[in-house]
Amino acid sequence: MASHRKPRSRSRMSGGLRTTPAVGITTAALTSVALLSQTAQAAPAQPTKPSLQEVQKKVDSLYRQAETATQKYNSAKEQTDSKKKQVDKLLDDIAQRTEKMNTARQELGRFAAQQYRSGGISDTATMFLADDPEDYFAQNRLMSRMTASQKKAVDDYQEQQRTTAKKRTEAQENLQQLTSSQTDLKTSKHSVQTKLSDARVLLSKLTAEEKQRLAAIEKKKEKAARKKAAELAQKQKAEEKKKRQAAEDAAQQEGGSGSGSGAGSGLSDPSTGTSSGYAAKAAKALAFAKTQEGKPYVWGATGPDSYDCSGLTQAAWKAAGISLPRTTWDQVEVGRTVSLSDIQPGDLVFFYDDISHVGLYLGDGMMIHAPKPGAYVREESIYYDGTGSIHSVVRPA
């Protein structure tokens, strides 16, 4: 007898395993992976915030790059100003020569008119209207029939023509150089502004607490620099005392009559080796620089209300009657280089491998300088950025 039981469904079984639940598990797993993938794409990892030391290092680097660009700007501006003066002078000269040439032309025209009225030789009129008067006058027939005054007038006219043409060519060349200098000036200006803007953006992202910590780091750095300056001052004083004692001993050995002659002559200081003339000029330069303290650093500025580093040293030594070039790169070539151990007040202290900064040595390891954007002319240790930052010392007079 046939069974009346309903056959079991085989769609849910395969080899003893239930297939439908397995499909459900796989779908859930794939859905989880997709959701995780979407979450990762929607919320990318945030970039790590730079440390305060990294920010300070980056800002200092930008300021240094800005100073280098400032020196390029100063150099380009100096060249631009110089070329502009040359071009203006040439244009004035050309105008004067053109006026003289017109006067000579009028004189030739007067001769031609006289000959026409007198019915004489009309070759002068022909010459005057010719495209090339010089070739025309090369003809011996006409030259032999001209008076001395007529020949002089023609010679003057030809000379003015040649000289004016030469000056015009020179003016065109200088105008091209002026255009090139103006382009360099614009490029350097943009570079300075970009570096300073980047530095401001970095600093603006600091919190109030981070700014306080950064100030504390700067203060600690300044304290270490002053300590280093004091060590230099102490060493210099010891050396000066030793030299002074040696000079006195030498004078005593030569005899009491000559012992005071060297010190009283005012020619030099035996303890430092510098002449009294240099010391007097340096004192004037330093006196000027001290009166500028508190004025802001402004790139490209030469006073009187603001300065960049080389603008300050140039103005200070100008007050002492010494003319220095505009840029640090040119100032370092003036005078003579001295060792750091022989540094004296008034000497120029240059910094970094690219010689992009300069200060005026005050004495006791300190200098007066225009430090950087946002700062003011101030007295600071020559070790303000470490011993390794000092490039050279120059005595400019």
How far lies 88's CA from each of 83, 184, 292, in Å?
8, 20, 34
User: Tokens 């395993």 label which residue?
Assistant: 17
Q: From the candidates 4, 190, 357, 391, which is the catalytic residue?
A: 357
- Is 391 considered catalytic here? no
Q: Is 51 exposed, middle or buried (0-12, 13-18, 19+ CB in 10 A)?
A: exposed
Give the 3-state secondary structure of residue 297.
strand
Q: How far is CA 88 from the centre of its chain?
A: 25
- Is 357 considered catalytic here? yes
Nearest CA to 361 out of 278, 275, 249 is that of 278
Q: From the candidates 4, 190, 309, 391, which is the catalytic residue?
A: 309
- Is 4 considered catalytic here? no
Q: Hey, which residues does 350 pair with through a beta bridge?
A: 358, 392
* Amino acid residing at 144: S
d(CA 236, CA 238): 5
Beta strands, E only, the chain: 13-14, 17-18, 336-338, 348-351, 357-363, 366-369, 378-381, 390-395
Taking a C-beta distance cutoff of 8 angstroms, is the pair 360, 286 a contact?
A: yes
Q: 10 Å Cβ neighbour count for 44?
A: 7
d(CA 343, CA 74): 27
Q: From the candidates 4, 190, 369, 391, which is the catalytic residue?
A: 369
Active site residues per annotation: 309, 357, 369
